[in-house]
């Protein structure tokens, strides 16, 4: 199978852009100064059920049935912090130490949220700004986003019934800058770390999730407004109370 070569670490024959001394790409996508932002609850102030790590791991499973109950702003703040929360800016603010690992602390991911029922939030599409721990409003003017995401995911109806859908995209150059062609494995493994943290964090708030990779690539890229080249949708996971 030809794809197996991507499971191996290549011998890098060319200098990476970091080796060439080129500027490091930004930690996250920029946004305009007049963008609509929503404050989230700082992780130091979060109050969630104190379940053991053993319980969270033992109870973890993919769940596709959700109650028609909204999540609180505190709960979505917790889930975002658990999956991409920034604990520290490092190397002069060029990289971040987060709640999940990433090669070279580069973290080449963006988190998008399709919100259906979250306390205090209008239904719509948002992007998580991990450094600021805020939500950036992208689109709250369409009423059929839940139906759209079901179509994007080949008719998997349970996705449209979730309170929120996490959608992760990668900006490959953020990692390619440092590792060149050896970036693919790290990108794919890294988004797996993120999603597993979501599974475990859901257990602490009485919620469930299910990782999804069955989707139409072009439709999902378009849905979150990325070009499919410099930023590519990778993975999604609906979340709801159980």
pLDDT per residue as tens digits for the range 40-97: 999 999 888 889 999 999 999 999 999 999 999 999 999 999 999 999 999 998 999 9
- Length of the chain counted residue by residue: 242
Q: What is the structure's pLDDT at 87?
A: 95
Distance CA 174, CA 188 (A): 14
Euclidean distance between CA atoms 116 and 163, whole angstroms: 5
Q: Which one, of 27, 10, 22, lies nearest residue 180 by Cα?
A: 10
CA gap 168, 173 in Å, rounded: 16
Instruction: Find the DSSP H helices in the chain.
Output: 53-59, 73-84, 145-152, 173-179, 184-204, 217-224
Work out the average pLDDT over 220-230: 98
Which domains, ranges and CATH numbers included, belong to the chain? 34-241 (3.40.109.10)
pLDDT band at 33 (very low <50, low <70, confident <90, very high): confident
Tell me how far apart the alpha carbons of residues 203 and 196 are, in angstroms, rounded to a whole number.
Answer: 11
Taking the C-alpha atoms of residue 224 and residue 141, their distance in angstroms, rounded to an integer, is 14
């Amino acid at each position: 199978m030809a794809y197996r070569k991507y499971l191996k670490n290549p011998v890098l024959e060319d200098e990476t852009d970091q080796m060439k001394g080129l500027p490091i790409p930004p930690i996250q996508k920029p946004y305009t100064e007049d963008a609509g932002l929503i404050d989230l609850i700082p992780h130091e102030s979060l109050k969630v059920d104190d379940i053991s790590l053993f319980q969270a791991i033992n109870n973890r499973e993919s769940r596709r049935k959700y109650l028609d109950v909204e999540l609180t702003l505190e709960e979505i703040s917790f889930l975002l912090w658990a999956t991409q929360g920034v604990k520290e800016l490092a190397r002069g603010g060029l990289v971040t130490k987060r709640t999940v690992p990433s090669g070279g602390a580069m973290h080449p991911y963006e988190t998008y949220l399709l919100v259906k029922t979250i306390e205090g939030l209008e239904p719509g599409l948002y992007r998580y700004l991990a450094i600021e721990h805020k939500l950036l409003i992208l689109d709250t003017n369409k009423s059929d986003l839940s139906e759209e995401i079901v179509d994007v995911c080949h008719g998997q109806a349970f996705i449209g019934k979730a309170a929120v859908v996490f959608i992760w995209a990668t900006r490959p150059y953020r990692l390619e800058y440092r590792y060149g062609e050896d970036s693919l494995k790290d990108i794919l493994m890294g988004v797996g770390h993120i999603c597993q943290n979501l599974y475990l964090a859901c257990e602490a708030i009485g919620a469930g999730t299910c990782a999804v990779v069955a989707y139409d690539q072009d439709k999902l890229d378009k849905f979150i407004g990325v070009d499919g080249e410099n930023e590519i949708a990778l993975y999604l996971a609906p979340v709801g109370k159980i």
